[in-house]
Amino acid sequence: MKIVVTGARGLVGRAVTAHCRDAGDSVTAAGHRELDITSKTAVRAFFEREQPDAVVNCAAYTDVDGAESNPELSLSVNRDGVRYLAGSAKTHRCAFLTISTDFVFDGNAEGFYTEDDVPRPISVYGKSKLEGEHAAAAEYEKSIIVRTGWVFGTGGTNFLSTLKDVLNRDEPVTAIEDSFGTPTFASDLAERIRELLEPGRNGLFHVANSGPGTSYYGFAVAAARILGVDSTKITGVPASSLNRPAPRPANSRLLSINASKLGLPDLPFWQDALGRHLSHIS
């Protein structure tokens, strides 16, 4: 398959590019420099030149706190950029997959959020991502929308890379103990994304590693144990102690019923995925 990956230098974009290349696809990895998705003209020209079979949009404005003071920029990338890509994908009759977030939910649910739950974002970032979902679906009915959360992997700055550095410095660590999500290994996410590009797999899908989910504190303790670092130096703190500009859902754990309906297996447990990742990079 000839696949264009946008936002290809980001955490998820790198994983998708690597996985699809390993799977034998021809991949054009377009970073921000190669394609600014907020330019409708540039998007159109890119599709004309590449003639892809599928486009995976990993480009996004992902600064959750920054979005609170930059709503226009957040919307221009996360909504308008997605719309332009979906429109061109429709014109070229190619598969289009765009990535969204667990932050479209308000966090008040007790258990997991499935694709049937109503999103109610509480941050500018979450709102812009939800508008992007709506834009994709409105522009191109065959869009594939993948919501994921708490992604860790190789490249870029993510909560695991930051944590690993701090743990290795042998300093005390604090981690939020009252926000719960589903950690997701970028490589496992990429594999599922590639599966969803097969014909007939349109619509909304939650993609996250299996298990009951965890808090950032629980994730940090699991990482410390795998790395052989003393986990007692990690202290749980409430999210409110960080005084961050953007509110985050206290619970954004994701579960997919739509992937199960297609007969796709659950992703591996997050602890297994974390172990695989850490053994690979340690």
Ligand X SMILES: NC(=O)c1ccc[n+]([C@@H]2O[C@H](COP(=O)([O-])OP(=O)(O)OC[C@H]3O[C@@H](n4cnc5c(N)ncnc54)[C@H](OP(=O)(O)O)[C@@H]3O)[C@@H](O)[C@H]2O)c1
Binding residues for ligand X restricted to 29-88, rule: CB under 6 A: 32, 35-38, 58-62, 77, 81
Q: Which one among 12, 56, 124, 196 touches ligand X, defined by CB under 6 A?
A: 12
For residue 254, the cross-strand partners are 113
Tokens representing residue 175 in the block? 């981690």
Question: Which of left, alpha, beta for 268 (phi over 0: left; psi -120 to 50: alpha)?
Answer: beta
The contact mask relative to ligand X for 144-183 (x = CB under 6 A, - = no) is ----xxxx----x-x-------------------------
Binding residues for ligand X restricted to 188-247, rule: CB under 6 A: none
- Asked if 179 and 216 touch (Cβ cutoff 8 Å), the reply is yes
Least Å distance, CB 9 to ligand X, is 4
Q: Are strands 26-30 and 2-6 parallel, antiparallel or unpaired?
A: parallel
| 269/184 Cα distance (integer angstroms) | 9
Q: Which one among 17, 74, 88, 101 touches ligand X, defined by CB under 6 A?
A: 101
Q: Which residue is nearest to ligand X (CB)?
A: 10
Let me know if 84 is a catalytic residue: no
Beta-carbon contacts of 27 under 8 Å, excluding residues fewer than 6 positions away, are: 3, 4, 5, 17, 20, 21
| 182/214 Cα distance (integer angstroms) | 6
Segment interacting with ligand X (CB under 6 A) among 8-16, 160-168, 222-230, 257-265: 8-16
SS3 108: coil
Per annotation, catalytic residue among 125, 140, 216, 217: 125
Query: Any idea which residue has 């599928």 for tokens?
Result: 54
The contact mask relative to ligand X for 103-142 (x = CB under 6 A, - = no) is --------------------------x-------------
Residues with catalytic roles:
125
Contact set with ligand X (CB under 6 A): 6-7, 9-13, 32, 35-38, 58-62, 77, 81, 99, 101-102, 129, 148-151, 156, 158
